[in-house]
Chains A and B, each alone.
Chain A
Amino acid sequence: MENLKILLVDDEEEFVTTLAERLELRGLQARAALNGEDALHMIEADTPQIVILDVMMPGLGGLEVLKRIKARHSQIPVILLTGRGSTKEGIKGMQLGAFDYLMKPLDIEELIKKMQEAIKSQP
């Protein structure tokens, strides 16, 4: 779990940077991307071990980004972030190959637990 390379994708800068900082405090390597295009570029440049992806983003939407990631790097587990009450998107994401979905505002411990599960489930 130590030094796990994580890519956080969310259009809310305040949210994503703070979350990255918190994860780093816990000894994880977290980088943030503010939109879908950036995220895809960053994956190509330095492939993360796990992607945390917000579903609701302007421009390239979360589900679209998910599809593209899965198309090229099907081995990378993706955990989706949805707004409260938007479980529909979460379920759709799981059908597209996401590992699971979490609702915002999220509990960081729960996120870490989910990430561990995701890594463990890797072949």
Chain B
Amino acid sequence: MSSETILKPHLKNTLRSGDILFDKRNQKIMNFKNLWAGLTKGLLHESGHEASNRYRILRRNIFILMILITIIPLIIMAVIYQHEYHSSIKQEIVIPLQTLTNKTKHTFELFFEERLSVIRFIASSYSFEELSNQKTMNRIFNVLMNEYCCLVDLGLINNKGIQLSYAGPYNFLGKDYSEQKWFQEVVVKGIYISNVFMGYRKFPHVAVAVLRRTEEGPPLILRATIDTSKFDDIIASMGLNPESDAFLISRSGIIQTSSRFYGEIMDHCPLSFPRGNYEAIVTEATDPRGREILVACAPFSSAEYSLVLVKPKSDVLHTWHTLRSRMILIFISSVALIILVVFKLTDTLVKRVKEADEKRELTYREFQHTHKLSSIGRLAAGVAHEINNPMAIINEKAGLMKDLVAYDSNFQNKEKFLGLTDSILKSVERCSAITHRLLGFARRMEVQLVELDLNELVQETLGFLEKEALYRNIELILHLADNLPRISSDRGQMQQVFLNIINNALAALEDEGEIVIASWEEDSDTVGVSIRDNGVGMSEETLKSIFDPFFSTKQENGTGLGLAITYGIVKKMGGDIKVKSKQGEGSIFTVYLPKKAKIGPGE
């Protein structure tokens, strides 16, 4: 009743300027659409690009973080381990090297000491006169030759440096040594051990000399020459491997025993290293051949020699190197494993997050959608009910006008009048069809479940559209399952569902396109029907809003209710509807319907 008064001015308006009102209505719908699109976009989804960017950043951050917290401790551990191990293994190597060098040095010193003490003993046990006697000298020399190896000769020299007696292979009798350095040294120090020198036969020798001061007369100097072949024996007894080397050098760096790698006797040693004081010192160096070596050097206390032991680093550090390369291998493979695991893990994690986000957004959108549908449904139902009554009045008034004219045989312009009333009645019919549809949208219509064959229903529905398809040269291809089980559903509403979808497909198609409709049994409870077109397709934005009420891409011609109603019906029947679309390639709508409709809540 009140609605009538409200609507009356509009009705007047309609009579006068129906077209303008129609335009306004359209505009309002458009505005509403824009508003809705803006709102949902702001509220619900960032654009796809932004979202994917966000997940990419998330993935990157998690990946970096996980890599850092796993690999940094590993690196620290590896570095510490390497350092510790390196220093300890060095100790392990250096100590035996030192020991060996010291031991050998002692052997040498013992050797010298032995020779010296014998000579000292002779010097003390015999008098100057006895020793000056060539015969006695020969006898002593013979005894010594038997008891001690390596003696080459023995001789007595007086304090003037003149050789007084001599036993040995050469004839040095009467030779004057007073100008020689060793003589002066032995006079001052009382003892002398020479560097190795090549004798007359180019044979390495070492000379030792001892001075004894006597109570009765001038001091006597006993000089002996020692063959250095014994040195080689001592060095050989060190049991060195072929890559190692050991030799004696003099204080000035002259090699005293033959060396494997660093020159012959009397050559200058090409290596430089600190000599140390008394104990053996181990240093690292590079030899002229470019080998990394460890040099152990132990100077003698009695003679001006140093024992040098050279070992190539690669040799001594062999175990260390194998271990290190193994460690590096383990390190690299564990890093690779970590990266792989972290990558997979991050991937899964981000995927889960993304899925959860999407699910949440979907739920939210569905909620919004349901909410919107229900409020619009209520509004539509209210409007439809209110409009019904004035429509009924218009219908009767126009009907009466028509009757009056029809029963009056003398009425002027009878035909024209009848035409006018007919057009009013037709408009009323149209209006009531709209209210009917609105109510259908509100789903106030009763659902009548009947057993129906979906294939048959689809074919029936196509019957409405075949003409258009034929006219536009659109091919309709059916792939319907032969033994599709019958389903229990509402025939009229199902027809509306397929009509809406196929209509949409037709609208999306250019002339001479094709629509493929397939049906199948999805599972024991569900059947599926898909409607595919190769038309213009939809953008992602459109796809998101496609089931929203008042959303339409058909500009002037669409109410934006078709797919919303379709969605509502399918959902109400306990089914589901899915859309896939690609711009320029077409769309596919898939409807899943339960074999036995599970009627959901209304609206």
A residues touching B (Cβ–Cβ < 8 Å)? 11-12, 14-15, 18-19, 21-22, 25-26, 83-88, 91, 103-106, 108
Contact = CB atoms under 8 A, between A and B. Distances in A.
Given A21-B400, A22-B403, A85-B444, A14 B393 contact: yes
Contacts of B444: 85-86
Contact of A85 (B393, B394, B404, B445): B445
Contacts of A87: 445-446
Pairs A-B, 9 closest by C-beta atoms: A85-B439, A105-B395, A18-B396, A104-B392, A83-B388, A105-B392, A14-B393, A84-B436, A15-B393
B388 A84 contact: yes
A105 B404 contact: no
Contacts of B404: 25
B436 A85 contact: yes
B394 A105 contact: yes
Interface in B41-85: none
A86 B384 CA distance: 11
A86 B397 CA distance: 23
B389 interface: yes
Contacts of B384: 83-85
Interface in B383-407: 384-385, 388-389, 391-397, 399-400, 403-404, 407
Contacts of B396: 14-15, 18-19, 22, 105
B534 interface: no
Contacts of B432: 84, 103, 105
Interface string B356-392: 0000000000000000000000000100110011011
Interface residues of B, number: 29
5 contacts: A19-B396, A22-B400, A22-B403, A105-B388, A108-B399
Contact of B389 (A26, A88, A104, A108): A104
Given A25-B404, A83-B385, A85-B384, A15 B436 contact: no
B436 to A, nearest CB: 5
B314 to A, nearest CB: 98
Contact of A25 (B388, B403, B436, B442): B403
A71 B395 CA distance: 33
B132 interface: no
Nearest to A14: B393
A114 B192 CA distance: 154
A83 B381 CA distance: 11
B165 interface: no
B457 to A, nearest CB: 21
Contacts of A106: 392, 395
B428 interface: yes
Given A84-B384, A105-B395, 9 more contacts: A18-B397, A22-B399, A22-B403, A25-B400, A86-B444, A87-B445, A91-B446, A104-B389, A104-B392
A25 B404 CA distance: 8
B389 A15 contact: yes
A12 B391 CA distance: 11
Contacts of A85: 381, 384-385, 435-436, 439-440, 442, 444-445
A86 B440 CA distance: 11
Given A84-B388, A84-B439, A18 B393 contact: yes
Nearest to B448: A87
A96 to B, nearest CB: 17
Contact of A105 (B385, B403, B428, B446): B428
Contact of B446 (A25, A88, A104): A88
A26 B436 CA distance: 29
Nearest to A19: B396
Contacts of A83: 384-385, 388-389
Nearest to A84: B436
B393 A12 contact: yes
Nearest to B439: A85
A19 B392 CA distance: 10
Contacts of A84: 384, 388, 432, 435-436, 439
A18 B400 contact: yes
Contacts of B392: 12, 15, 104-106
Nearest to B444: A85
Contacts of B381: 85
Interface in B411-453: 428-429, 432, 435-436, 439-440, 442, 444-446
Contacts of A11: 1
Contacts of B1: 11
B527 to A, nearest CB: 28
B391 A105 contact: yes
A104 B391 contact: yes
B568 to A, nearest CB: 15
A18 B398 CA distance: 10
B444 to A, nearest CB: 5
Contacts of B435: 84-85
Contacts of B428: 105
B396 to A, nearest CB: 4
B416 to A, nearest CB: 21
A106 B389 CA distance: 11
